[in-house]
Structure formats: C-alpha cells, structure tokens
Amino acid sequence: MKNSQKHMQDTLVKHKSDTSTKTQQNDYYSHDTIFHNSRFLIFGSKEMKIDYIPSTEKSFIIKSKGDTLFHDKLVTILGDKKYNSQIYIKYDSKYKFAQFTVDSIYNGELASPDVSIIKDNKYWNSFKRCNYLNTNEWKEHIITECRETGINFAGHFTIVEWGCGCQCKLMAIVDRITGEIFFPDIPEDHIDGYYGSQYHKDSRMIISNSAILEDYKGYYLKYFDCYPEIYEWRDTISKRLE
C-alpha cells in the first residue's frame, strides 16, 4: 500500500514537472505580434516587454529587462532574451527593375551554351568546391535549362540556377547570342550561395536572397546577416549596388 502511495506521489510530481516544462517551452516558443511599425515586425511572447528607442531620443525609461535585441545607428530595441523572438525588417531599396531596363529583347536564333569553355575566375573557382560541379551533371543541367527556358534575363541571357546544399543556390548566366557562360559574383564573398533570386527578362538587375522576403511580404528576418542584395549585370560581370 505504501509503495502504491509513493508511486502515485512520484507520478504527480513528475506530471507537475512535465507540465511546468511544457509551459516554459510554450512561453519560449510562442509567436505573437508584439511590435509593428513602418520598419520592424517583431514576433515573440506577449509576456515580454519591448523598448523601442530611436537614436535621437536622449532620455527614456526602460520598461523591459534591458537585453539588446537589435541595434543600429537609427534605433535600439530592448527586450528579454529569456523569450524567443524574431525581428523582421522592412525591405526598402532605392533600386528598381525599371531603372535597368534593356533596349530590346533578342528574338533571333538562340545559341546553345558552350560548356567546353569556362573562363577561370574567382567565382568559378569557388563553385568547384561543390561536388556537383566536379562532374558533367552541371553541363547537362545548363544545356537542359537553356533549351527549356529560353531568354529570361537582361534581353539576351538565360539564368540557370541549382541547389548547393540546404536552401542555398548557385547561378550561371548564359549569353544566348554567343553561347558564352558566366558565373557572376553573387554573393561577393564567394563563400556560400544565395537564398533565392528575382530577375526580369527586360532588366539587368538581380535581387539575391529574395526568398527571405516570402514569409512576411516586404519584411526579412534579421538572421545570420542574410538580407536582400542588389546587383547590376554589365554584359560580362556583376556589380553589387546594395
């Protein structure tokens, strides 16, 4: 009888502990909109207090715990790191696709990609770290995509993309007049690939890491310094603008 009572007490204690743990987990992972203005969208627990402090504000009363969640030259956001929070930043670029429109769209015979000639550049060298590119598969992929896609960028180019692990991608740009293949400096550091892209048939502009804008349209998650980047294609090279 005593053993039975002890087992029941142990069970009740364990249940209470499990419930407490689950409550803590739910508090940590709860995602409510706790702050929203023209620049930021913040999700987290409603239990967490937020201080939004513009850099121009010299005196203020801190209502939160005081942990720094975000800081730049314009604003500091304080909260409580005990709670999980996600800070989305409004994406607003001064560059638009219409600023880089081409004069015309090529409508002549499309040249097949010349996979026999690859110019040796710093980005191609970084591409070779990917095992996929050490085989003939990448050649077949570019040929197939060009055959099926046609011109999709900057008047007479075809952009071909493929995954390089996880959610990142790599890119080749094929001139459909000459068949020449280019590997743009996207991203500039040549360390990893990019997370999605946007480009137009009649524009020389490319937005890389565009997929991070898809969860909450127009906002990107401040995470591992991954943010949208703007590039301009200049016939044979890419130049980062933003």
pLDDT tens across 103-148, in order? 999 999 999 999 887 655 555 555 555 545 555 777 888 999 999 9
User: What SS3 state is found at 57?
Assistant: coil
Query: Is position 142 within any domain?
Result: yes
Instruction: Judge if 56 and 118 occupy the same domain.
Output: no
- Kindly tell me the burial class for residue 80, based on how many C-beta atoms sit within 10 Å of its own C-beta (0-12, 13-18, 19 or more): middle
Q: How far is CA 97 from the centre of its chain?
A: 19
182 within 8 A of 239, measured Cβ to Cβ: no
Instruction: Judge if 72 and 149 occupy the same domain.
Output: no
Instruction: Judge if 75 and 122 occupy the same domain.
Output: no
Instruction: Judge if 113 and 57 occupy the same domain.
Output: no
State the pLDDT at residue 179.
95
Instruction: Judge if 146 and 83 occupy the same domain.
Output: no
Work out how many domains the chain is built from and give that number: 2
Query: Is position 218 within any domain?
Result: no
Q: What is the pLDDT of residues 2-53, one digit of tens each?
A: 444 444 444 434 444 444 444 444 444 447 899 999 999 999 999 999 999 9
Q: Is the pLDDT of residue 59 over 50?
A: yes
Rounded CA-CA distance 128/233 in Å is 22
Cβ atoms within 10 A of the Cβ of 135, count?
A: 9
Domain that residue 8 falls in: 2-90
Instruction: Judge if 86 and 184 occupy the same domain.
Output: no
Residue that the structure tokens 């715990």 belong to: 65
Instruction: Judge if 177 and 101 occupy the same domain.
Output: yes
Where a domain ends, among 90, 113, 146?
90
Query: Is position 123 within any domain?
Result: yes
Where a domain ends, among 90, 115, 138?
90
Instruction: Judge if 164 and 76 occupy the same domain.
Output: no
Rounded CA-CA distance 220/235 in Å is 30
Where a domain ends, among 90, 112, 138?
90
176 within 8 A of 156, measured Cβ to Cβ: yes
Instruction: Judge if 69 and 128 occupy the same domain.
Output: no
Instruction: Judge if 189 and 102 occupy the same domain.
Output: yes
State the pLDDT at residue 125.
53
> Worst-scoring range by mean pLDDT, 86-95, 125-134, 151-160?
125-134
pTM of the complete model: 0.70
Instruction: Judge if 123 and 82 occupy the same domain.
Output: no
Instruction: Judge if 16 and 44 occupy the same domain.
Output: yes
Rounded CA-CA distance 228/92 in Å is 10
Dihedrals phi, psi of 131, to nearest 5 degrees: -55, -30
Query: Is position 116 within any domain?
Result: yes
193 within 8 A of 151, measured Cβ to Cβ: no
SS (H, E, C) 92-104: CCCCCHHHHECCC
Dihedrals phi, psi of 53, to nearest 5 degrees: -120, 105
State the pLDDT at residue 215.
73
172 within 8 A of 160, measured Cβ to Cβ: yes
State the pLDDT at residue 55.
94
Task: Summarize the confidence of residues 186-202 as an average pLDDT.
Answer: 78
Rounded CA-CA distance 222/32 in Å is 17
5 or 198: which leads in pLDDT: 198
Query: Is position 193 within any domain?
Result: yes
